[in-house]
Structure 1
Amino acid sequence: MSQEPATRAQQRENEDPEEAVRPMPLAALLVAAGMVVWAVVYILTTEPLNLSSLGDQRTRAELSAPAQAAGAAVDGKALYAAQCAACHQATGAGLPGVFPPLDGSEWVRGEPRVLANILLHGVTGEITVKGSKYQGVMPAFSQLSDSELAGIASFIRGSWSNRAGDVPAELFARERKDGQRTTPFEGEAALEALSR
């Protein structure tokens, strides 16, 4: 009696799986081979990919920025946006307690030589701007050319509520040549010594 139920259970089970090799179906093999043959023929019969008619039609001269002529005016506003606006903001108002304002700043409106040296060498330490004290670091921008620095200085001296005159590039060239400083100015006392 006990063998009969086992036989019925065995009849309901599937066959044990085999580990025999089962080749890819012939239809799938033909499709794969056909795709490879088509790809090889397509690559061999198409035009090369380096033809200018397949891409951008502009020349290298059109894509490169126009060369700036010697003595040409520099876009101080664009340079300010790229170099200074992250800290001093596009409005020149700075960030209270962190970055001093340039709008209405006595350092911007004052002696151009002091502003030139601030841009060339930077400032570290305490500085008072419009009655508020700021403690921080302003990096030097000596990597910029004299005309680029003059463009930035002229822009900030004539923007917002500032109505000071332009700064010539020659001032930056002279300060760069005459200055032996390799470190930033140590606060406002060192800057005030320049204006005397």
Structure 2
Amino acid sequence: MSKPVQSRQSENADPHEQYNPVPRIVIVVILALLTWAVYYIVSAQPNSSPRLGDQRPLAVLAPAPVSASADGKQLYANACVACHQATGQGLPGVFPPLADSEWVKGEPAVLTQLVLHGINGPITVKGQKYEGAMPAFAEQFSNAELAAVLSFIRHEWGNDVEAITPELVAQARAASVDRSQPWQGEQELQGWIAAQ
């Protein structure tokens, strides 16, 4: 008996890579970028002259002393606007208004103490009672900065009363230098002021 002959089925040829060189333009662009990168690194030494960067003198770039440039509006925007709002109207029932407030337009020493040490507890503003907490700013602001922000709110939103000076803030700070806690409501603050 003879074996049956198996037919060979042809298999696909093994894949092979064709000759596809990288285009010359791509090689030229890559070489140009590498050349530029090496030149930039060599020429931009951090200790070299500022000819590649800002050419203003250092005296112009130095910040001015805070006491000479305290900007009450900017300080208010950074520290107070979140609660008392840009309009000075506060948030009804939550944060008291500064616009036409008897506390803002009243005795400068009272307002200064209020901002220096903050207040926890009841305070009545424009006939409405508020129960909240105002943080102390004695540590965050210098006398000149406190005077600037207090003067700003005393001249804004229809408040038209005299400015507060850094000297007045310094006196208020010295008068309550031993105080480390916020005022516990308006009664304590007014009582302390009356006793002075």
Fold shared by both chains (TM-score > 0.5): yes
Q: Which amino acid aligns with 2:62?
A: S
- Picking from 175, 179, 182, the partner of 1:181 is 179
CA drift of 1:39 comes to: 3.2
User: TM-score with structure 1 length normalisation?
Assistant: 0.76
Q: Quote the RMSD (CA, aligned, Å).
A: 3.6
SS in 2 for 1:127: strand
Residue of 112, 128, 141 corresponding to 1:132: 128
2:89 corresponds, among 87, 93, 96, to 93
Shift of 1:120: 0.7
TM-score of the superposition, structure 2-length normalised? 0.76
Residue in 2 aligned with 1:144?
A: 141
> Residue in 2 aligned with 1:39?
34
Residue 42 (structure 1) shift: 6.6
% identical aligned pairs: 46
Cα distance in 1, alignment partners of residues 50 and 91 from structure 2: 50
The alpha carbon displacement at 1:14 in A equals 2.3
Question: Would you say how many aligned residue pairs link Structure 1 and Structure 2?
Answer: 185
Q: Name 2:116's counterpart in structure 1.
A: 120
Consecutive unaligned residues of structure 2, counting only runs of 5 or more, are none
1:164 shift after superposition = 2.0
Q: Which residue in the other structure is 1:195 paired with?
A: 193
Q: Secondary structure, in 3 states, of the residue corresponding to 2:63?
A: coil
- Give the Cα separation in 2 of the matches to 1:86 and 1:108: 18
Structure 1 position 148, deviation (Å): 0.9
Any unmatched runs of 5+ in structure 1?
none
Q: In 2, distance between residues paired with 1:46 and 1:155? A: 50
For the residues of structure 1 that align with 2:40 and 2:146, how far apart are their CA atoms? 57
1:81 equivalent in structure 2: 77
| Counterpart residue number, 2:167 | 170
Q: Secondary structure at the match of 2:122?
A: strand
Q: Which amino acid aligns with 1:128?
A: T
Provide, for residues 95-139 of structure 1, a one-character-per-residue CA deviation record: whole Å limited to 9, x for no partner. Answer: 112211001111111121111111111111222111112222211
1:48 is aligned to 2:43: yes
